[in-house]
Structure 1
């Protein structure tokens, strides 16, 4: 299977919603406008495709020289454990360069995954939760 990775090929909002639901990523997929805004306001999006099927996405917000917040990493259920998530993370780090850190907040089901792909668990984060 030949997976195509792209910085330029943008999925439709419907494709994104379908992928996130399939991957079990808890996002507001019932709010199409909010999902559109999430992608429109992100400045580093990498997609993974199996022909015309969207099989993975990483969505980040970065300043390119200090910090990159990898806000979404989703891989279609049937494509997990094929290295797609690892490749999306690697391409994200490659694109932001050596001066920038990559950080994320993990969903509970992925906490065991991230140390396996090079992330170091931090105890120094704080959050003000969203209200909706």
Structure 2
């Protein structure tokens, strides 16, 4: 792995301070309890699908989900450091999440600022929610 290369991986644990940091460097902190470490810790401890994007160990993107691996995966948090946005990291985090839960439908609730982003990825709008049934529907 070269220095400065983005590494995508599934992680089984997530440091709550790293999570808060990337939420604050994205625009998601305004809609997450970043000042309540107990809640953030619980969010990190109970998520059972965490896909990260890191550069030289630094967390620059995350897809934090809850899944049963067979019917549905709820992608609760998709956050990318604003400095690294518009480089395909968000779509790659979605794709990696879907690849780890291939038969489950991927479901998320869009942040108001992101409503126009998800249709561009190939996800289908369903009222106020987006769903991805097949990884091949992603427009990469």
TM-score under structure 1 length normalisation: 0.88
SS of aligned partner of 1:30: coil
**Count of residue pairs the alignment pairs up:** 124
Q: Which runs of 4+ in 1 moved over 2 A?
A: 8-11
| d(CA) in 2 for partners of 1:102, 1:8 | 18
1:18, CA displacement in angstroms? 1.1
**Conserved 8 A contact 1:73-1:85:** yes
Q: Give unmatched runs, 5+ long, in structure 1.
A: 126-132
| d(CA) in 2 for partners of 1:11, 1:100 | 23
Matches within 5 A, 1:1-132: 1-8=4-11, 10-25=13-28, 26-97=31-102, 99-123=103-127
| d(CA) in 2 for partners of 1:124, 1:22 | 25
SS of aligned partner of 1:104: strand
**Conserved 8 A contact 1:9-1:47:** no
SS of aligned partner of 1:114: helix
Cα distance 1:123–1:30, how it changes in 2: closer, same or farther (>3 A)?
Answer: same
Q: Give unmatched runs, 5+ long, in structure 2.
A: 130-140
TM-score under structure 2 length normalisation: 0.84
1:8, CA displacement in angstroms? 2.5
Q: Which is strand-richer, 1 or 2?
A: 2
